[in-house]
Amino acid sequence: MHPLSITLIGEVKSPKAYFIRDFLQRNGFAFQWIEVTTDAEARQYAGLDSRSDPRFPVLALKDRTLYAPTLPDIVAALDLSVGPQLPEYDLAIYGAGPAGLSAAVYGASEGLRTILVERFSIGGQAGSTSRIENYLGFPEGISGADLASRAREQAIRLGAEILLAAEGVGGSIEQGKMIGVLDNGKTVTSRATICATGVEYIRLNVLNEKRFLGRGLYYGAGSSEANLCRDHVFVVGGGNSAGQAALHMASRVPKVTMLVRGNSLKDTLSQYLVDRIRLSPNIEVRTRCSLVAVDGDQTLERITYRDLECDEEIEEETSWLFVCIGGRPRTEWTEADMLARDSAGYILTGSDLLNGPSGAPWPLQRNPYPMETSLPGVFAAGDIRSNSIKRCATAVGEQLFLSRITFWPMRHRFSSESLRLRRTS
Ligand SMILES: Cc1cc2nc3c(=O)[nH]c(=O)nc-3n(C[C@H](O)[C@H](O)[C@H](O)COP(=O)(O)OP(=O)(O)OC[C@H]3O[C@@H](n4cnc5c(N)ncnc54)[C@H](O)[C@@H]3O)c2cc1C
């Protein structure tokens, strides 16, 4: 945890306040949250006359106060994006989920000049989960934020540089070096790159979804919101992430209802979660259901779902809806034909590249290394990789393999290959 004194003041169902809460919590910043429900409280806590003043939320730091700050404002105030500090790195990693953090640990420990670039917060999907129970060495489970925070400490201690709130938005290969372009206009030059950008949540695609995002409707397990929930919570989804969200919420609110599209939780959920959900008296599971609408005035007030069994629409009142219906690969930073992908958009690597993927064929005489993409010297790891098992342990373990086969020869080999690639393409 960072030893900073931070207070955030605002309304609970404010999307901006949610965004900042989520950012602070997932990046391991200790902060005090003050909820404002009346104009008197707005005056008392923030010195603003009305609780609907557009200058909310207010972020009070030790030495300054920020009104309705954007992510770049916060990043600057917390001194988070000072790098890249070196003109060139051996290894640049994009995405600080378990895969990226682990690559940073192993890359730096092999003596490589390593930089890890993360668009939002460390931990990725894992950082949003309240408890990971199947990770080796933590018999009681560990919160994703805690695991991520330990990994960050380890990576930094071993010499990796971490750039937070910086997004990779493009890249090129010039004179054998990879130039990553960040959203803040800066560039990162490296001899090799690991893409560990994971997946993003699949959206509901229902009417009004955008209107209630952060105002009662949340994607993911809601680790930053759980303490604020007070009444009946609905969780959409039947996978492990939805199961964990339901269990986490159930320890805080009187009732949790899971809306599951399939016939039973057993088909999609790990057995230990099925067992724990069965033993939770305040979790109700409704199967064969599909959410069709969200509604309310300023904030979420009700949802409608279709009972697929009897083809009926059912309306329920709730002001808390958490959606965990899976992910899709996050590859918007790369042009469609730059890297070979499978039909679902996941990046193809290693021997999969030799099996005739469409577009971006493997360009060199030698075979690709395991986890190497169709662009020599660019690797993919974790959930973004085609055919990977979507789990923390896999995302982390893959880097060990990478370190054995690629980190050592990386310094010389890829630069010359990249030159060849440029000449022939
Ligand atoms: C709620 C939930 C609970 C889960 N529980 C478990 C569990 O108990 N056990 C288990 O093994 N697995 C669990 N999983 C799955 C596990 O979290 C994932 O398999 C794992 O996080 C994948 O790691 P990753 O590093 O590949 O990708 P991610 O975790 O998706 O991380 C990718 C990172 O890349 C960043 N990024 C994306 N694009 C860019 C860009 N252009 N530039 C810079 N950064 C970028 C993202 O912001 C993100 O931080 C859970 C997942 C969820 C959602």
Among protein residues, the one with the nearest Cα to ligand 1's atom 4 is 241
Ligand 1 near 124 CB (within 6 A)? yes
Contacts of 10 (CB under 8 A, 6+ apart): 16, 17, 34, 35, 36, 56, 57, 58
Q: Is the CB of 382 under 6 A from ligand 1?
A: yes
Sequence-separated (6 or more) residues with CB below 8 Å from residue 192:
90, 91, 92, 178, 377, 378, 379, 406, 410, 414
Confidence (pLDDT) at 21: 94
Residue whose pair of structure tokens reads 């290969």 in the numeric block: 173
pLDDT tens per residue across all 425 residues of the chain: 454 589 999 999 999 999 999 999 888 888 999 999 999 999 999 999 999 999 999 999 998 999 999 998 998 898 887 889 999 999 999 999 999 999 999 999 989 999 999 999 899 998 888 888 889 999 999 988 899 999 999 999 999 999 999 999 988 888 888 999 999 899 999 999 999 999 999 999 998 899 999 999 999 888 788 889 989 999 999 999 899 999 999 999 999 999 999 998 888 898 999 999 999 999 999 999 999 999 999 999 999 999 999 999 999 999 999 999 989 998 777 766 678 888 888 999 999 998 766 666 788 888 898 899 998 889 999 999 998 888 899 889 887 767 665 565 555 555 555 444 433 33
With a threshold of 0.85, does the pTM exceed it?
A: yes
Is the CB of residue 24 below 6 angstroms from any atom belonging to ligand 1? no
Which residues lie closer than 8 Å to 314 by C-beta, 6 or more apart?
304, 305, 306, 307
Helix 271-278, helix 240-250: angle, nearest 10: 30
Tell me the CA–centroid distance for residue 316 and ligand 1, in Å: 31
Helix spans in 136-226 (H):
144-157, 209-212
User: Does the beta carbon of 198 sit less than 6 angstroms from any atom of ligand 1?
Assistant: yes
Q: Residue 9: which residues within 8 A CB-CB, separation 6 or more?
A: 34, 36, 45, 46, 56, 57, 58, 59, 60
95 C-beta closer than 6 A to ligand 1: yes
Tell the residue number behind the tokens 């009662």, with chain if given.
216
Tell me the two tokens of residue 225: 């919101």
d(CA 132, CA 244): 9
Tokens of 252: 């805080």
DSSP 374-385: SSTTEEE-GGGB
Q: For residue 265, give both structure tokens.
A: 């939780």
pLDDT of residue 324: 94
Whether residue 167 has its Cβ less than 6 Å from ligand 1: yes
Q: Report d(CA 374, CA 20) in Å as an integer.
A: 37
Q: Following CA atoms 403, 408, 412, 418 in sequence, which dihedral angle do they give, to the nearest 10 degrees?
A: -20
Query: Ligand 1 centroid vs 144 CA: distance in angstroms?
Result: 10
For the Cβ of 199 lying below 6 angstroms from any atom of ligand 1, the answer is yes
How far does the centroid of ligand 1 lie from the alpha carbon of residue 135, in Å?
A: 14
What is the distance between the alpha carbons of residues 164 and 127, in angstroms, rounded to a whole number? Answer: 14
For the residues of 58-105, what is the DSSP string, one character each? Answer: EEE-SS-EEES--HHHHHHHTT------SS-EEEEEE--SHHHHHHHH
In this predicted structure, what is the pLDDT of residue 358? 60
Distance of CA 354 to the CA centre of its chain: 30
218 lines ligand 1 (CB under 6 A): no
HSE toward the beta carbon, residue 255, CA cutoff 13 A: 8
How far, in Å, CA of 14 to CA of 36, rounded? Answer: 11
CB of 376 shorter than 6 A to ligand 1: no
Give nearest CA residue, ligand 1 atom 22: 383
**What are the backbone dihedrals phi and psi of residue 352, each rounded to the nearest 5 degrees, phi first?**
-60, -25
- Assigned token pair, 420: 């060849």
Pocket test for ligand 1, best of 128, 197, 236 (most atoms within 8 A of CB): 197
Any atom of ligand 1 within 6 Å of the Cβ of 222: no
The contacts found for 18-22 with CB under 8 angstroms, 24 or more apart, are: 18/214, 18/218, 18/224, 18/225, 19/71, 19/214, 20/57, 20/59, 20/69, 20/74, 21/224, 21/225, 22/121, 22/224
Q: Find the 247 Cα to ligand 1 centroid distance in Å.
A: 20
